[in-house]
Structure 1
Amino acid sequence: MNNLQVSIEDVPLNRFHQWLTVRSGGGSFVDGYVLSIVGVVMLQLSSALQLDSFWEGMIAASALIGIFFGGFIGGWLTDVAGRKRIFFVGPVIFVLSSLAQCWADSALALFLLRLLTGIAVGIEYPVATALLVEFMPRKYRGPRLAALALLWFAGAACAYLVGELILRSGVADAWRWVLASGAVFGGLLLLVRLGTPESPRWLLNKGRQAEADTIIKNVYGKHFSLANLPEQAEEHKLPLRALLHSGYGKRMLFVVVFWTCSIVPVFAVYAFAPKVLAALNLTGDLGSFSSIVITLFFVIGCLLATRLVNVMGRRNMLICSFLFSGLALLGLGTYNSSSGALIVLFFSLYALFIGGAQVLTLVYPNEIFPTEMRAVAVGIGTSFSRVGAAAGTYLVPAALGGIGVANTLYAAAAITLVGLLVSWLYAPETRALSLQEAAALE
């Protein structure tokens, strides 16, 4: 094979790609862990710190607020300072903020530390996904990005397992050690990421051709060079302000709207699953069992989407995901007084079908923007989608009491169907394209 004719996007997976998947995916695992761990000990810490309802809500929402700011900061820093440097910011913050939570002695201190943790999570989204996508061959790009959503769920599940083990250990102030446990996983992530190279695409974008060429040779072999890297020529580079106009403004609108529409019902309904299920007359052991089943279907939905993202294509998967999950929510609203089995079925179908949109929140923004704005686009999508998630989570209790469970579910379905309309109008197909082709406006 003549290496001069082979794009690095068409090479087979090698050991470096596998290791980079662990390095980037580890960030998603830790994100899920540190975000979920506070829920395990909310009852204990609320009692220990004598929290009122205001501070309970603020501490629960603090990470979402932090993600909003972290997305902006992380996207900007990743494009300005480089992927490699910012790749270590999140793990360092995870270690320091988790350890500090062990000594938090007030509601304000815990709020600020959880806010800092959320900022670190927001930084992780753009840097980990940008670095992964800029090295990954096109055939594996979608599935590997989609798999990050699965690893988030794995981290969340691990948080509940580890948290329960520590709480049952009999250690004094066990809730503090539960919160501090995130430092262990943050430290492991930091060690795993040592030795990660800079993205050749980012280096080329900054005019550092010699460094980019050296990294390509180290990763792919001495017979590879910049000639094997499909990337925009320097004279065609677009300024960052292009994100706000032309075709990229429309693409940014698409990403923000579909990302928001995909997670608002998930955060709003799933965060209050016991309340929603109780309003649907599923209480006690049946309600607990139903919550477990629905969570399992969220995981299955993401797993199936990871396997099918190259088979169905991005556009078809997104449209089908919004269509069928929206219909499931309509079914829940329509048959809200039916048998428990039917309600759990509709809930499970929603969880199953929304998996496609969930995994594409990490795939689309990394594929449809060029190198100089890729991380910023992911950061903006992360930030604005969390505003919607926070608003949806805040409004659910009021909606259940004010307009009833049926209308609340109809509102969630309407949001999902907005995502369907936007996806139908603007979602491109990028399955078989190189990153340069996928990011091109024409």
Structure 2
Amino acid sequence: MSSSIIDDQPYGRFHRKLFFLSAGGPFLDGYILSVIGVAITGATRELGLTSLAEGLVGAAALVGVLVGGFVFGWVTDRVGRQVMYTIDLIALVAASALSLFVTEAWQLVLLRFIAGVAVGADYPIATSLLAEWLPVHRRGRTMGALVAAWFVGASASYAVGYLVAAAGGEDLWNWVLASAAVPGLIILLARIGTPESPRWLLRHDRPQDAAEAIRTAFGRYPTEQELARLAETEPAKNSRLSDVFTGGYLRRTLFVGGFWFCQVAPAFAIWTFYPVILGAYGFEAGDTALLWSMVVSLVTLAGCVPCIRWVETYGRRPVIIWTFVGVSASMAALGSFPGMAAALAILLFVVNALAQGGGNILQWIYPTELFPTDIRASAVGVASAISRVGAAAGTYLLPVGLEAIGLGPTMLVGAGLSVIGTAMCVAWAPETKGQALHESAAVPPQSEVRAS
């Protein structure tokens, strides 16, 4: 494995700070997408929302994430990671704070859409910047840990919603939505001064700026030899968004977008309608729905923890395959025996949540490792956009499926999607553990020769 000053650098204070700042995006995503479930009842009563308007409010942020990831991934590859690293959060903070002044349904839909665009934009921005600064021996576990921040954000939104509801009731729904501006502003201010990715700078033929960025991060300038060695792995190149869909990268785009789709389509549907689904299995959630949703998020978070280490010890490929197997098996059991005891159903949902959490950590490892610097943010944006199509479809179709075909068949459809994801990973998932970023992104890499 060829190395560089970035790969040889010990994991230190700069990396830890950059991780926490980058994790702010997933945290806010989990918070913003989950907090609407807390606020929607009060908003519906005060604004007189119709069922159509409720659907638009619920879907607006998801659609925004799709648009933000697709558009601003490409923009980030053109103008740089650092400048976009703060602009997107300015929009998020503003949209969240303005929720305090909403008086009509269209205003709420628009603000939710803008907040979603900002979160979607942050996916390719923050993940690309972090991946391009990480040493090879810590890249997998650190990128995987970003996903855990999503569940921390979701749990935080349920906790805030529960406390606000206990203090002032549903009338404070706009304060619940506006609360996202507080962590958003903190993260925004902390991100100011973050150095640009030297890999991106070298791709744009700016070696002096790359040397300055390295000095800011590591406290010293690189030697001529160190900068030359890094430049060899990141030759100056201008690419187009279409490169994500051509040549050897097309299969990778289908892979990362496909497995992400198969993960989130059933997962978002279940997370959104947990009280309804559990009620169908005979479990009465009652007034504790918010607390139960928080518990589910924490269980899913617990599933992330061991896999964050396993992607470095056992590898990316076995982790994603076996977690898909766990999701497929648990959903197949739930679908095959819809009349099972509530306690057994809860146990299977716990298994499902643990497996989902473990597999989700690959959502930002593979897209950042399988594409080169000049199209990395674009690829992450495209993959996240594809995933949000799955999330929106799953969330919309689950209640339709429960009414049209019943509980068991609906769960079996989710199991079928997970089986497709399993097959996709068996066929296409490469092993990138221990590879330098430019090696895992090369086409065709040795890692895609599947072990027999």
Match of 1:85 in 2: 83
- Could you say what secondary structure the match of 1:62 adopts? helix
Match of 1:189 in 2: 187
Give the partner amino acid of 2:256: V
Distance in 1, matches of 2:283 and 2:211, equals 60
Report the AA paired with residue 313 of structure 1.
Answer: G
**Retained in 1: the 8 A contact 2:151–2:297?**
no
User: In the comparison of the two structures, how many residue pairs are matched?
Assistant: 439
The answer to whether the 8 A contact 1:231-1:436 is kept is: no
Quote the offset at 1:163 in angstroms: 2.8
Equivalent position amino acid for 2:24 in 1 = G
Q: Residues 50 and 240 (structure 1 numbering): CA distance in 2 closer, same or farther, change over 3 Å?
A: closer
Q: Aligned pair in 2 of structure 1 residues 352, 39: CA closer, same or farther (>3 Å)?
A: same
Whole-Å Cα distance in 2 between the matches of residues 333 and 173 of structure 1? 38
- 1:73 counterpart SS class: helix
What is residue 51 of structure 1 aligned with on the other side? 49
Q: Does the Cα contact within 8 Å between 1:104 and 1:110 map onto a contact in 2?
A: yes
1:274 alignment counterpart: 275
Structure 2 residue runs of 5 or longer lacking an equivalent are: 445-452
Task: Give the deviation of 1:170 after TM superposition.
Answer: 3.9
Of residues 32, 38, 41, the one that matches 2:30 is 32
Name the residue aligned to 1:21: 19
Say which of 398, 415, 418 aligns to 1:416: 418
Q: Indicate the percent of aligned positions where both proteins have the same amino acid.
A: 40
Paired residues of 1:35 and 1:63 also in contact (CA < 8 A): yes
- 1:222 aligns to what? 221
User: Could you list the per-position Cα deviations for residues 7-39 of structure 1 after superposition, in whole angstroms to 9, with x for gaps in the alignment?
Assistant: 421321121111111110122222222222222
Check 1:71–1:330 CA distance in 2 against 1; reply closer, same or farther (3 A cut).
Answer: same
What are the superposed Cα offsets for residues 103-158 of structure 1, whole Å, 9 maximum, x if unpaired? 01100110001000110110010001000000011111111111111111111222
Q: Distance in 1 between matches of 2:274 and 2:16?
A: 36
Q: Which of residues 137, 141, 150 in structure 2 aligns to 1:139? A: 137
Alignment partners' CA distance in 2, 1:108 and 1:187 = 25
Report the counterpart of residue 323 of structure 2 in structure 1: 321
The equivalent residue for 2:115 is: 117
Q: Deviations over 1:323-379 (max 9, x none)?
A: 121011111112221222221111111111122321101110000000011000000
Please give the root-mean-square deviation of Cα atoms over the aligned residues, in Å.
2.2
**Contact kept? 1:101, 1:180, Cα under 8 Å:** yes
Q: Is the 8 A contact 1:293 1:348 kept in 2?
A: no
Distance 2:152 2:443 in 1: 36
Residue of structure 1 in register with 2:406 after alignment = 404
Contact kept in structure 2, 1:335 and 1:343, CA below 8 Å: no
The 1:262/1:26 distance shift into structure 2, 3 A limit, reads: same
> TM-score scaled to structure 2, two decimals?
0.92
The one-letter code sitting in structure 1 at the alignment partner of 2:362 is: L
Distance 1:123 1:139, change over 3 A: same
Q: 1:382 aligns with which of 381, 384, 400?
A: 384
Task: Check 1:375–1:341 CA distance in 2 against 1; reply closer, same or farther (3 A cut).
Answer: same
Change (3 A) 1:112 1:6: closer
Partner of 1:249: 250
Check whether the contact 1:278–1:287 (CA below 8 A) recurs between aligned residues.
Answer: no
Amino acid at match of 1:269: I
1:201 match = 199
Distance (whole Å) between structure 1 residues aligned to residue 318 and residue 343 of structure 2:
30
Which residue does 1:352 correspond to in 2?
354
